[in-house]
Structure 1
């Protein structure tokens, strides 16, 4: 029978796993509390259409949050994902419109642009030994500048319906013809971005929990020097997390621009904060070594439901920024208290 270690001055000490579970259940409790409050204040909140809308809105936060979680677990940070998202999206759009590439090839090019940005971030941190904050801050500015330069700071439009299929299509969408002869949507279907989000979340969660690479990611965040002495290639593992983050940012950019059927070089501003917030709300520790994808998904839905509910209740966008900012501050403060204890 196992016992929890005791501290004579503080009482029982909790393991990292126990602390992670407490944080995750706290985030889940917050999620249910928000759902109850907003369902009471708006009759349209608990509807199938709104549920699909929330899930679709959450995809961008969740995909970026998955990458942010892996980076933060290693003890790093990635501030560039919002700008990389924009650069990848406009590159995909320009490849389709200006170069005449098929949409799948153009979007693959956009994802590879995100991957390249992740590689540069990773090499700047592992080879040039730049602090992650500085390296990714530089990439944030460079990627945004390149996106604005290649588009002339104008939106790329006229991309055609096929470009919007990924972002606006849905699986099992049901449409019936009413008595008046007009089509009526009986079930909106599961949006393709939501399916993509679920598949990627499951894949990365399995990678973190069931593979050697995942164990190495946690060990690097817990103690990089001990991991190195144990035979872990710390630089390679760190590089992988930034490449993954960049790739997911590129994918998110393609999905988001597909939803808009227009590529906006100014898209993705402040998205990096949503990504980091979703990870931290879900229990990922900013000092590294602790975090789960399931927790990040809960955190992403907390942010998504909060925004959706505030919109339904007519709260202005400026007030929403204040509220979400306070939520982020409170979450990071709780994380710091947890780490001190």
Structure 2
């Protein structure tokens, strides 16, 4: 039976997770556990509450970008623009706040700017038939250039405490005032970025596995022509995936700039590599048609914990890049072995 004549269920419309993906995700989870054990043994401070909160905050941005990247990779594409879109979205939000717009609508404008960049990627890919690598590479340059041009390459500061609430606030935080007038944090609470990541991950996982658009995303990546013959609107599905990737990059930009309480137009450089790494380490196939949000979350935490543990060990940022690079190559190599007939 040819690919074009196979039933739609064989191309992901059934929503089932292939056994290879589960095995890959299990191996990624085992790797995560080994990393945690190794760093905990090397540094007693690794299991401290403050360090755990630091890991959650660092991983939240990688996770949000990785979720959007997973949607794109499952369709058989790639999005190299998410780091630049992150910076542009943060700049748009900050400029809106400076213009007197309330924080929530201002951040909504930032997310909308990210979604617009993603939609542009999708239109260029589907209408102009430009390969995703080239189209999103172009958007990477456009978005970074816009962020730098709008700000004059100067950070936007003085955004107020309300702007920093999303990135620095926490649920159930308990603080008491000491007699000397200084606050004492009894319980640091659950960071808002971690809660936001959980909500987004659950929502997108539900969308992928229980909604029609999710099944269409898998079908498009598994075999585009077979999906089209099965009635899937392939171009619209790709447009949706890239728009979601841009919107989530915009959300990640709000989280990051809120943490800094400053909009940095130079932020997000090489963030797309972390997003790709999280998705691939978690089991997403660069050939398309395979990927899970839970796997991407495991991959995001592997990268976050690896960076955190190496920082605590005093390893330079340059060596960290080398280590992450080898991890990505290893994950892609495993993916290639899995896809061999």
TM-score, with length taken from structure 2: 0.94
Displacement, 1:179?
6.9
What secondary structure sits across from 1:176 in the alignment? strand
Matched residues in 1 for 2:68 and 2:323: separation?
A: 25
What secondary structure sits across from 1:44 in the alignment? helix
> Does the alignment pair 1:257 with 2:257?
yes
Matched residues in 2 for 1:131 and 1:324: separation?
A: 26
Displacement, 1:199?
0.2
Matched residues in 2 for 1:181 and 1:257: separation?
A: 29
What secondary structure sits across from 1:108 in the alignment? helix
Matched residues in 2 for 1:319 and 1:133: separation?
A: 27
Matched residues in 2 for 1:182 and 1:130: separation?
A: 58
Q: Spell out, residue by residue over 1:163-203, the C-alpha distance to the aligned partner (whole angstroms, 9 max, x if none).
A: 11111110000113457664321211111111000000000
What secondary structure sits across from 1:289 in the alignment? coil
Q: Spell out, residue by residue over 1:3-23, the C-alpha distance to the aligned partner (whole angstroms, 9 max, x if none).
A: xxxxxxxxxxxx961100110
Matched residues in 2 for 1:35 and 1:180: separation?
A: 38
> Does the alignment pair 1:274 with 2:268?
no
> Does the alignment pair 1:132 with 2:129?
no
Matched residues in 2 for 1:329 and 1:280: separation?
A: 10
Q: Which structure 1 segments of 5+ residues have no match?
A: 1-14
What secondary structure sits across from 1:184 in the alignment? strand
After superposition, the CA RMSD in angstroms is 1.2
Tell me how many residue pairs correspond in the alignment: 326
What secondary structure sits across from 2:68 in the alignment? helix
TM-score, with length taken from structure 1: 0.94
Counterpart residue number, 2:216? 216
What secondary structure sits across from 1:45 in the alignment? helix
Counterpart residue number, 2:85? 84
Matched residues in 1 for 2:46 and 2:177: separation?
A: 26
Counterpart residue number, 1:291? 291
Matched residues in 1 for 2:101 and 2:215: separation?
A: 40
Counterpart residue number, 2:7? none
> Does the alignment pair 1:31 with 2:32?
yes
Q: Spell out, residue by residue over 1:134-183, the C-alpha distance to the aligned partner (whole angstroms, 9 max, x if none).
A: 00000000000010001001111111111111111100001134576643
In the superposition, relative to structure 1, how do residues 292 and 16 fare at CA in structure 2: closer, same or farther (>3 Å)?
closer
Displacement, 1:334?
1.2
> Does the alignment pair 1:168 with 2:168?
yes
Counterpart residue number, 1:301? 301
Counterpart residue number, 1:337? 337
Counterpart residue number, 1:50? 51
Displacement, 1:338?
1.2
Matched residues in 2 for 1:214 and 1:88: separation?
A: 26
Counterpart residue number, 2:72? 71
Q: Spell out, residue by residue over 1:244-289, the C-alpha distance to the aligned partner (whole angstroms, 9 max, x if none).
A: 0000011111111010000010000000000010000000000000
Counterpart residue number, 1:21? 22
Counterpart residue number, 1:105? 105
What secondary structure sits across from 2:46 in the alignment? coil
Displacement, 1:307?
0.4
Matched residues in 2 for 1:17 and 1:153: separation?
A: 47
Matched residues in 2 for 1:287 and 1:122: separation?
A: 18
Matched residues in 2 for 1:313 and 1:25: separation?
A: 27
Q: Spell out, residue by residue over 1:116-151, the C-alpha distance to the aligned partner (whole angstroms, 9 max, x if none).
A: 001100000011111000000000000000100010
Matched residues in 2 for 1:222 and 1:89: separation?
A: 34
Counterpart residue number, 2:152? 152
Moved over 2 A (4+): 176-183
Counterpart residue number, 1:143? 143
